[in-house]
Structure 1
Amino acid sequence: MDIGVLLPTGTAQWEAGDDPRGVLALALWAERIGFSSLFVNDSLISPRIEALTMLAALAPATEHAHLGTGALLPFLRRPVQVAQSLASIDALSGGRLAVAVGAGFPGRFGRPMYTLSELPWERRFRRLDETVALWRALWAGDTSFHGELVRFDDLPPATKPFRAGGPPIWLGGATPAALSRTAKHYDGWLPYPPDPADYRSGLATIREAAALAGRPAEAVTPALFVTVRVDTDEAAGRSQLDVYSRANYGMPLEELRTIQAVVTGTAEQVAAGLGAYIAAGARHLVLRLGAIGLAAQEEQLDRVAALIDRLSVADCAAWDHTSAAPDRTPARPAPRT
């Protein structure tokens, strides 16, 4: 099991007067108290510390925690340049980088960013897959790349990542097409389904498709992106998460809960909720802390850290995944902010 934390790099997660450098201090504290990975996310919709800049700061400052994106939006950057940046971060971190990627979502969470990036919205998934393939070609030393949408001749010598072949690339998303693409082309899966049963079925689909493609089951890391808050009880946790959801997404918690994985309540309730996903097969949890302000984030970090020892695979295997979360009607996907 790997238990990681998503760092609050967005200003919507800060209070007035918070020092941006406090995010780095929070990351160092998370590593010290036992979190095995530190993740950042990516957007142009709300102000934030840019994802690759944050990872570049973390690489030499941390010692053993893995670094990751949850998720990087490659279309925001020139593809050759981002390959160089990712290789540089992997080299500076000693091979501790994992890169989860996404193509963006409809509405205000996706189309405006494509406009700013001067790229078409259409065929965005093909563009994403070809961009990842280009990165791998560059890291392998190829001098040209010819996809349907992404094409380059005379590629320059690339910065070499720490690991041969480069950092592992994960895919977010849980549509049937995303599951198929994950199984065939990616090294990990980072979805956020509201129901653990959907995680279980999605992972089974990936493993079946991977086997048909000639890949071993362990080729795809089963990860999970989930928002958590430890509080005095579930009602108090939901109240605070509603504030968080409105600040970050402009929507109430009850709407967000139909889209994304959310777990709150007492320490025991949060452990059981996360355990349901572990029982469903998740082995790398990326926890987004539902709190506003760096001080409140640190408080939640300490509370969640106390749960880590409870989240062993053996202990979670006995939990009934059907009773860990209320029934929710599936809805449109939403981005992470």
Structure 2
Amino acid sequence: MKLRIFTEPQQGASYETLLSVAKATEDLGFDAFFRSDHFLKMGDVSGEPGPTDAWVTLGALARETSRIRLGTLMTAATFRLPGPLAIAVAQVDRMSGGRVDFGVGTGWFDAEHTAYGIPFPSLGERFERLEEQLEIITGLWRTPPGETYDFEGRHYRLADSPALPKPAQAGGPPVLIGGVGAKRTPRLAAAYADEYNVPFHRPGDTAAAFERVRTACREAGRTKPMVYSAAQIVCVGRDEAEIARRAGAIGREVPELRENGLTGTPGEVLEKIGTFAELGAETLYLQVLDLNDLGHLELIAAEVLAKL
């Protein structure tokens, strides 16, 4: 089981804060540092100093780290055109020496689109655009050097693209697709994803979502292995007082966190990680909301990661 640290900078984090968390992630032995791709806070937080762009941040972190993988859960297809997005991700992959994973989704938070003047089409159109973006981005990355790439779709058209730059990873960074949609998401995952992620669901719902994707892979005749993963909020303490303090720092109640995330003593969290492993999850993304509490990461590394 791989443990990856997942951050939500739109809730309030400077680049300097993200850098400190990314360096701790690397120093403590975690597998990867991931971040959300959002431009607006959620809930009753200040959100200050304001949003940071996901791929600008990851490009900088690529030069400040040397081992951990870097990625997004999930880049919104509504935010960027597919050609420039393929260029940005490929550049960050080269800057990191081939350590990028590319998570991408439809985009869902309509308020952030309104706040920053980004068009927010219907869900059906967003899925159409996501599928075209997946085809274009992977197609650009996989076009042989010296050849050009063309695409004619309903929403995007590319002609005589040199399909440059190429990522450091042959064929491009691994593609992550997530969500628990019953039909379109499993089909897209089977067609394009290297990894399928279920975010913030209980084990039973996660198992059902995994099975839908396994079925879609069989129906599509896919033989390439799929990595299955889950994202869970994390709140670990040595005792009840420490658990309660960390829950309070993020405005959550301990019983709710225990029910819906990886919360409790290290032993409790290890047991729940084992439950996800039994479902077939190979990777867990630990959503860390208090980015100033590096002692939390130290505890998880020493008492959970070290014992897996």
Give the 3-state SS of the residue equivalent to 2:250 in structure 1: helix
Alignment of 1:146-157 (within 5 A): 146-157=152-163
CA RMSD of aligned residues (A): 2.6
Segment of structure 1 superposing worse, 68-77 or 19-28: 19-28
Cα displacement (A) at 1:78: 2.2
Q: Quick one: distance in 2 between partners of 1:3 and 1:78?
A: 31
Residue number among 152, 172, 178 corresponding to 1:172 in the alignment: 178
Q: 1:137 maps to what in 2?
A: 139
Superimposed CA distance per residue, residues 244-279 of structure 1 (whole angstroms, 9 cap, x where no aligned partner): 257xxxxx8888888xx5221111112212221122
Q: 2:166 maps to what in 1?
A: 160
Name the aligned partner's letter for residue 169 of structure 1.
V
Superimposed CA distance per residue, residues 48-91 of structure 1 (whole angstroms, 9 cap, x where no aligned partner): 22110111012122112111111111211122111100011111
Give the 3-state SS of the residue equivalent to 1:83 in structure 2: helix
Superimposed CA distance per residue, residues 204-233 of structure 1 (whole angstroms, 9 cap, x where no aligned partner): 221222122121262x21111111011244
Q: 1:3 maps to what in 2?
A: 3
* Structure 2: gaps (5+ residues): 42-49
Q: 2:47 maps to what in 1?
A: none
Alignment of 1:40-189 (within 5 A): 40-46=35-41, 47-105=50-108, 108=111, 112=114, 116-122=117-123, 123-141=125-143, 142-177=148-183, 178-189=185-196
2:4–2:286 CA contact under 8 A, matched in 1: yes
1:40–1:54 CA contact under 8 A, matched in 2: no
1:238–1:264 CA contact under 8 A, matched in 2: no
Cα displacement (A) at 1:241: 3.1
Q: Quick one: distance in 2 between partners of 1:162 and 1:273?
A: 36
Q: How many residues align?
A: 293
Q: Quick one: distance in 1 between partners of 2:108 and 2:8?
A: 21
Q: Quick one: distance in 2 between partners of 1:235 and 1:62?
A: 34
Cα displacement (A) at 1:118: 2.9
* Pairing 1:36–2:37 present: no
Give the 3-state SS of the residue equivalent to 2:108 in structure 1: coil
Q: Quick one: distance in 1 between partners of 2:127 and 2:241?
A: 39
Cα distance 1:231–1:255, how it changes in 2: closer, same or farther (>3 A)? closer
Q: Quick one: distance in 2 between partners of 1:257 and 1:103?
A: 29
- Compute the TM-score of the two structures, normalised by the length of structure 1: 0.78
Residue number among 298, 302, 305 corresponding to 1:302 in the alignment: 298
2:207–2:279 CA contact under 8 A, matched in 1: yes
* Pairing 1:287–2:289 present: no
